[in-house]
């Protein structure tokens, strides 16, 4: 199998469209591209009549990260081949099934278009504020297609983490080998403002 993550973590820009790759020449069944968090229509256009899996998460825009749930868009025959046939207890080759609380929450989240649009709007507003901060501090960053931003902190992540914690802000974990880069999620408007104020104090 081959996997492509877009937008990736922590480098979060989305590809404009995937390259049109041919099947593996020696073993067709071994070439199954897996895409994470990318627009489904883009994948369908780029991989017509090929085995492909699209993985989507409920962690970000739906705010369900703690429930650890997502879904796959996959051709039924490929699902049977990889995960086994359906049984009263789920798929044969999947040992642990998703818990019913997570499934119920995700089902309802898909119906809530108002919150979906609200979440996108707030993430965009938060990123705009953070971009302006990073430009002001002359810190490089990667333009984001997600709700988080990866920026060059110009100091070790452990040092920045401790300094920001003193300001009441928890920043992202280390992403080796980028120890002088930091990932920050947008959060609420109040949390973004608290991050901005803390950064201004740390870098003053």
> Does residue 36 register a pLDDT over 60?
no
Find the length of the chain. 204
Give the model's confidence band at 25: pLDDT under 50 very low, under 70 low, under 90 confident, else very high.
very low
Identify which has the larger pLDDT, 192 or 17.
192
Please give the helix or strand (H or E) that residue 149 lies within, else none.
strand 148-152
* Sign (positive or negative) of CA dihedral 74, 148, 186, 118: negative
β-bridge pairing 33-36 and 2-5: parallel
Specify the CATH architecture of the domain 116-202.
Alpha-Beta Complex (3.90)
3-class state of residue 127 by DSSP: helix
C-beta neighbour count of 156 within 10 angstroms: 12
The most confident of the ranges 34-38, 86-90, 99-103, 196-200 is: 196-200
**β-bridge partners, 36:** 5, 55
pLDDT at 39: 53
| DSSP three-state, residue 71 | strand
**Which regions of the chain carry the CATH code 3.40.640.10?**
2-111
DSSP single-letter state for residue 14: P
Question: What is the CATH architecture assignment of 2-111?
Answer: 3-Layer(aba) Sandwich (3.40)
* Number of CB atoms found within 10 A of residue 114's CB: 8
For residue 195, give both structure tokens. 């991050």
pTM over 0.85, yes/no? no
Q: Coil, strand, or helix at residue 95? A: coil
Residue 44 has a pLDDT of 54
Is the pLDDT at 22 greater than 70? The verdict is no
What is the biggest distance separating any 2 CA atoms in the chain, rounded to whole angstroms?
61
């Amino acid at each position: 199998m081959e996997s492509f993550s877009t937008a990736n973590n922590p480098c979060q820009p989305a590809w404009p469209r995937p390259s049109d790759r041919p099947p593996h020449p020696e073993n067709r069944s071994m070439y199954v591209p897996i895409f994470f968090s990318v627009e489904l229509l883009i994948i369908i256009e780029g991989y017509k009549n090929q085995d492909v899996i699209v993985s989507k998460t409920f962690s970000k825009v739906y705010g369900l990260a703690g429930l650890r749930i997502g879904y796959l868009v996959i051709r039924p025959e490929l699902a049977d081949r990889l995960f086994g046939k359906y049984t009263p207890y789920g798929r044969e080759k999947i040992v642990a099934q998703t818990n019913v609380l997570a499934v119920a929450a995700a089902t309802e989240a898909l119906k809530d278009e108002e919150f979906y649009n609200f979440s996108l709007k707030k993430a965009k507003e938060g990123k705009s504020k953070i971009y302006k901060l990073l430009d002001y501090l002359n810190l490089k960053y990667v333009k984001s297609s997600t709700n988080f931003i990866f920026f060059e902190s110009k100091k070790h992540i452990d040092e920045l983490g401790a300094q920001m914690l003193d300001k009441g802000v928890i920043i992202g974990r280390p992403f080796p080998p980028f120890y002088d880069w930091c990932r920050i999620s947008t959060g609420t408007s109040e949390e973004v403002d608290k991050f901005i104020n803390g950064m201004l104090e740390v870098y003053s």
